[in-house]
Amino acid sequence: MTFGDLLRKLIEQSGESISAVARGAEIERTSLHKTLSGERTLPYPAVKKLAAYLRLTPHEQKIFYEYYDMQIQGPRCFEARKTIVRILKDLSNLPVPEEKEKLVVTVKSGEEENEKEEPKLLSGIYAVRNRIRRMIDQELQEKEPELSLFLPADDGFTMYYLYNVFSEYRTKLKITHIIPYGAADETQGSEGLEILGRVLPLALTASTRYHSYFYYNKYEVVATPFPYYLITATGVLLISENYETACLVSSGEMLDHYQYFFRQAIEQCSPLLQVQEDIFAILKTYAETVEKNSYYTFMRQPCMGKFYTPELIEEKIRKNFPFREKLVEESKRRFSELARVTGDYYTFFDEEALREFLDNGIICDIPREAIEPLSMEERLFLVGRLREAIADDSIMGRIICEDLLVFPPYLSFTVSARNKVDIFTLQRYVGDERFYNIHIDEPILGRKFMDFVLFLPKSEYVRSKEETLKLIDEMMEKTNG
């Protein structure tokens, strides 16, 4: 169904003629007729008038505007952008982890199978899931626990179970995960984004202990009863495509064969998520996101690094911070790169985070434990420079509409001109000392994120330039007062 088809259906349901609806909504009758036939597209204000005149319910309005957006953007772009919005919302809603407990896993009596009784066939999705859980629990008892997974990312059970393991317990578990990825072109739609949305929570929780790889799988026909598998120190679980059947293999010979095959497969795959924790490597990556005289970022706080002076950096990085000199050097290099940007400089942020910055003076571009809060004079200087740059269009800075789009408070996203995506962690809660970077080099994902960033200024997800400037003025006036 097209937008025109839906609009025709709604007009018919109203019991009025097309001409009457055009008069009532103050829209030219010819324009409405051409919209219904698909010959033209109405401007957004006219669509809002139609929704009001037809007295659409909130649910009907949601569908009505989605069909309109789909017509304007095209189905694939529309779906990809909606998927990114959903991923950001899901990441925003991840629970804040409590203090992790020491992992104590006890395998129930009778759960360990006789090594010689194999292969063992399991039937039914619950039996398969139960075996996956038991194998993970058994592996966690190893001195150096390690899982090798050749599983699709939509295996929600396994991904969620592993996410909970890392969320709740201190563990040395290392995971290597190969993911079938779909077509190597734009015809894959939002599949790559869906995969990203499923693996990011685990990557953010497990950090450098989760290693994900992918390969392009162009064929839908599965020619083997067990296309997926999971390898532990004690066995291999072969899993059917629908997860309703599995075969447990635990002989040393077969286990060695699958471990060797998995290592060979890794060599033919590409990294999906690359995680690094070294703060200086992360700052170097920060600088490298400024490419071809452009910079694109979105996070809760506006990126004002363009206006950080070498003197400010020298003064504010804590004197007793370990490796302070190197941190100062890398920070100056990073922010000098931003200062030299004269082309595209995009920063999207939320109103509350800007208010918080004016209140507490804490910037998120440098780990919080490494930097002193800025003085009120310094805060107003930076926000004033940001305001001027937005006003003269040297920066594309916009406040988001938080009822439609939310940014995770503990993440910063940058997209480079070479279609690479970097996710940097920020302090999530008091005492959180994790600071790492997730690098995504898959080109189709990069293009979809770049499309999203370039789309935002003209979308309903952000406030207009005038609205953004007005809100900044109000905040600065209140702070000054």
What's the pLDDT tens digit per position in 247-258? 999 878 889 999
With a cut of 90, say whether residue 358 has pLDDT above it: yes
Query: What is the DSSP track for 291-307?
Result: BTTBEEEE-SS---GGG
| Position with higher pLDDT, 364 vs 372 | 372
Torsion of CA 373, 375, 380, 382, to 10 degrees: -50
Which band of pLDDT confidence, cut at 50, 70 and 90, is reported for residue 81?
Answer: very high
**Arithmetic mean of pLDDT, 139-161:** 92
Backbone angles phi, psi at 399, to 5 degrees: -85, 135
Give the distance, in angstroms, between the CA of residue 322 and the centroid of all CA atoms in the same chain: 31
pLDDT value at residue 1:
82
Name the one residue in this structure whose structure tokens are 């772009």: 77
Q: Class of the 3-73 domain?
A: mainly alpha
pLDDT value at residue 144:
93
pLDDT value at residue 96:
67
Are domains 101-273 and 279-480 of this chain identical in fold? yes
Backbone angles phi, psi at 181, to 5 degrees: -115, -20
Burial grade of 458 (CB within 10 A; 0-12, 13-18, 19 or more): exposed
pLDDT value at residue 224:
81
Please choose, from the candidates 49, 42, 55, 47, the residue with its C-alpha nearest in 3D space to the C-alpha of residue 14. 55
Residue 308, helix vs strand vs coil: coil
Helix (H) or strand (E) holding 477: helix 465-480
With a cut of 60, say whether residue 381 has pLDDT above it: yes
Q: State how far the Cα of 454 lies from the Cα of 84, in Å rounded to an integer.
A: 13
Q: ω into residue 408 within 30 of 0, thus cis?
A: no
**Arithmetic mean of pLDDT, 64-83:** 87
Orientation of helix 191-206 relative to helix 443-455, angle to 10°? 100
Looking only at the bridges linking them, the beta strands covering 345-349 and 210-215 are: unpaired
Which band of pLDDT confidence, cut at 50, 70 and 90, is reported for residue 76?
Answer: confident
At the second CATH level, the architecture of 279-480 is 2-Layer Sandwich (3.30)
Q: Tens digit of pLDDT for each residue in 158-209?
A: 999 999 999 888 899 999 999 988 755 555 568 889 999 999 999 999 989 9
pLDDT value at residue 45:
84
Range from 111-120, 401-410, 429-438 that averages highest in pLDDT: 401-410
At position 404, the amino acid (one-letter code) is L
pLDDT value at residue 43:
86
Backbone angles phi, psi at 404, to 5 degrees: -115, -30
pLDDT value at residue 150:
95
Which band of pLDDT confidence, cut at 50, 70 and 90, is reported for residue 327?
Answer: confident
pLDDT value at residue 110:
47
Helix (H) or strand (E) holding 246: strand 245-249
Which band of pLDDT confidence, cut at 50, 70 and 90, is reported for residue 118?
Answer: low
Q: State how far the Cα of 260 lies from the Cα of 241, in Å rounded to an integer.
A: 22
Q: Tens digit of pLDDT for each residue in 14-50?
A: 999 999 999 999 999 899 999 998 888 888 888 889 9
pLDDT value at residue 356:
94
- Please, are residues 286 and 424 in contact by the beta-carbon 8 Å criterion? yes
With a cut of 60, say whether residue 385 has pLDDT above it: yes
Q: Tens digit of pLDDT for each residue in 129-142?
A: 999 999 999 999 99
Q: What are the extents of the domains in the chain?
A: 3-73, 101-273, 279-480
Please choose, from the candidates 23, 71, 30, the residue with its C-alpha nearest in 3D space to the C-alpha of residue 49. 23
With a cut of 80, say whether residue 273 has pLDDT above it: yes
pLDDT value at residue 109:
47
| Position with higher pLDDT, 345 vs 289 | 345
Q: State how far the Cα of 338 lies from the Cα of 342, in Å rounded to an integer.
A: 9
With a cut of 70, say whether residue 98 has pLDDT above it: no
With a cut of 90, say whether residue 466 has pLDDT above it: yes
With a cut of 60, say whether residue 269 has pLDDT above it: yes
State the fold for domain 101-273. Endonuclease; Chain A (3.30.870)
Query: Residue 445 has which token pair?
Result: 């994902």
Write down the H helix ranges in 15-97.
Answer: 18-24, 29-36, 44-53, 58-73, 75-92
CA atoms within 13 A on the CB side of 400: 26
Orientation of helix 351-360 relative to helix 465-480, angle to 10°? 20
**Arithmetic mean of pLDDT, 109-122:** 60
pLDDT value at residue 218:
63
Show the CA angle centred on residue 207, arms to residues 205 and 208, nearest 5°. 155
